[in-house]
Structure 1
Amino acid sequence: MNDMTPIQTTLKDWESDQEVRWCPGCGDYAILKAVQRTLPQIGADPKNTVFVSGIGCSSRFPYYMETYGFHTIHGRAPAFATGIKLANPDLDVWMVTGDGDGLSIGGNHLMHLLRRNVNLQVMLFNNEIYGLTKGQYSPTSRIGTTTPSTPMGSVDRPANPCAFALGSGARFVARGFDVSKNLPDVLIAAHRHQGAAFIEIFQNCIVYNKDVFNDFAAPKGAEDRQLWLTDGEPMLYAGGTKGIKLDLDTLSLQVVDVVDGDWQSAGVIVHNVKNRAIAHMLVELPFGPFPMALGVLYDDPRPTFESAVIEQNAKASEGREANLAKLLAKGQTWTVAPSAADPV
């Protein structure tokens, strides 16, 4: 068993000797630095940490981390990450995927990782495009997105990563974006969660889908367009002048004005990370009439997959002898004796 005692490291301890190669201005650089700043804060040990990725721009991530790493095959990172965690549950496993890798060919694998509740962190970089394949539309591309494969605009209804995660049974769902100062706090909360922690990270593709998230991520006026959620705190934004209310007649969320800071009278609800129904509503809020809900949307732990497997294996082997030769010889076995006619 590995020693999980927190150790002291710096950002430099997590930087590999590989040249970081993404397009200049790519949001992946900011996410990489956020992760490298976060790991020292949680006392992580590079020798006990594994980064697993699939295929895509985001999947170059393991090369740039001074840890163990696996750059696997398209969409199959969840299967590899699950196997790694089962083989050595003490490892701190982080999975990196993109909206294309994780929600197209990898959607099936990701669903099962989340429903099984494997104790690891999933970072899904969502830039709403296939950047590595030169700008084809992805499962999260918006209707009307013009690409080489959809020159007249995509007619696909986009997938909602956080809604997918909740629907798959994820017990931790969060959102952030590449250059946000709050992203490390979201990553710390995900690491603290015991079980599968899913984090959607909006990421700017500077070449093929530039500034697609500027409607809420641009610094100017951001407080009017971003709802950062804190457990136990009222859902306020726009400097506390607006909030989110639950309309009990329609069972839907509404934007309300808050006068003189009196959010109680306005009916603003308090965020409860264990309220799954509200989390579903938050991830489905249409941007424009509503702010973008960010931070930890849902966090309600339950026993992990690997703990159940370990317990089951212990029960199965209780009182039994570990003898492979005896096991192979059990049941219907026979011996073929050589005859004189057999060639030597």
Structure 2
Amino acid sequence: MNNQNMIKFENISVVVQGVIHPDITKLTLLSIRKFLPNSKIILSTWNGSEITGLEFDQLVLNQDPGGFNHTNLNKAKCNNVNRLILSSLNGIKAAKTKYVMKLRTDFLLTGNTFLNFFDRYNLTDPNFALFKHKVLACSYFSRNPKKINLAYHPSDIAFFGLKLDLLDLFDINLMPKSDEFYIFENGEWQRKYAPEQYIFISFLRKKGVNVSFSNQFPITKKQIKLTEKYFTSNFIFLEWRFFNLKPPKKLKLYRELDHFSCITYIEWKKLYYKHVIQKPNKFVGFDFERIKLNLVLKYYKLLKIIAKFITFFIFGKNNKKLRKKIRKKITGN
């Protein structure tokens, strides 16, 4: 039991959702047993999955709704938003406890002190609070709409909150194909919303919020302000170290847009004091995460310049595709 906020572990269900990763998912489940003993582990995955040797309390098998593949693009990622919605929703429905944690099958739990944040920032703007209680969510990859053209984009990696709130969040329609293949321009299909946006915007609309926005148009100041207000009255964004999460290796690799456009815990806290407490100038702490990210970004940009110089020196003006391929290998982007 956590002595600071008195949430008993037996009142928590952990919904581990998604595809089974042979080398990781077993460790994911064991980490939950270690740090949330007596909690209920609900594994929500797909029919036909290999589950031999996995440690869980309840199994939810789902019919795979499939993903959206952009066959005309090179090395395109599959959009698995409907898989996320379905496996999360059915896993949460199976929970019998007051609290639910939603976790991917490729993340490890490293502690339980994240529970201390659950009641730390309880004040809300009643005009924007849609949950019964704020939900813990990941700082990575909750987007800052001032840095990237993505409004209403909280991370979907992990959540902790009241069961009824998480059920409310995921009890939405699956994304239609028309939203994924929304506009064809420059030889590529553009989606209307990113997966994370689709989930949150669908939830907002279900709650009667009039959201008029798509990624094909620049974000307005009003949309930025609304995004910040909904974020600060419904979520608490925690970096992985505060959420006690260990990401898979692929998410540790820094990507210019993926990591640097995220809202850090301190940045969320500043927004909380600005929009909820009405103290926009209050000092809320040093943002060491942003300092680290800025240093990494400077290193990345320097590496990119060096990579461009090296490839141009070796290959000259010709072989543009080859130069670009080698630069990506050098920079990791």
TM-score, scaled to structure 2: 0.27
Greater RCO structure (CA 8 Å; 6+ sep): 2
TM-score, scaled to structure 1: 0.26
**Higher Cα radius of gyration:** 1
